[in-house]
Amino acid sequence: MYGLINIGLGNIVVGDRVIAIVSPTSQPLKRLKEIAEQQGKLLEVNHGRKTRAFIITDSGHIIASAIQPETITNRFLQNYYDIEKVLDKIRKEVL
C-alpha cells in the first residue's frame, strides 16, 4: 500500500500500480520505450526535460519522468512509512 506518489513536475502516480522504476540508459529499455510508444502506452511527463527514469505499471504503461529513480524510490518508501504509521495508530485504537 503506497498511496499516491509524486513523480515530479506536478505529476502523480498510484503507487500500488507500479511494477518497476528504472533508469532509461540501457538499450533494452530504449526498445521498451519505442514499443510502448507504438502501442500508445508511453506517457511522457517530463515536460521536455531529460528523461531520468521510466516507471513501469501493471497495465503495461511506461511513464517517462524527469526525476531520478532514487528520488522516486525514496518518495515511495516515505509514503509507505507514513501510511504504516497511520495504520499502526488505527490498529492500536481498535485493540
User: How high does pLDDT run on average in the chain?
Assistant: 95
Predicted pLDDT of residue 95: 79
Within a 10 A sphere around the Cβ of 34, how many other Cβ atoms? Answer: 12
Residue 2 has pLDDT above 90, yes or no: no
Coil, helix or strand for 92? helix
Residue 60 has pLDDT above 90, yes or no: yes
Q: Which residues contact 32 (CB under 8 A, 6 or more apart)?
A: 54, 62
Q: What's the whole-number mean pLDDT along residues 31-58?
A: 96
Distances (CA, A) of 20 to 56, 92, 93, 95: 5, 33, 35, 36
pLDDT tier for residue 1 given thresholds of 50, 70 and 90: confident
Residue 53 has pLDDT above 80, yes or no: yes
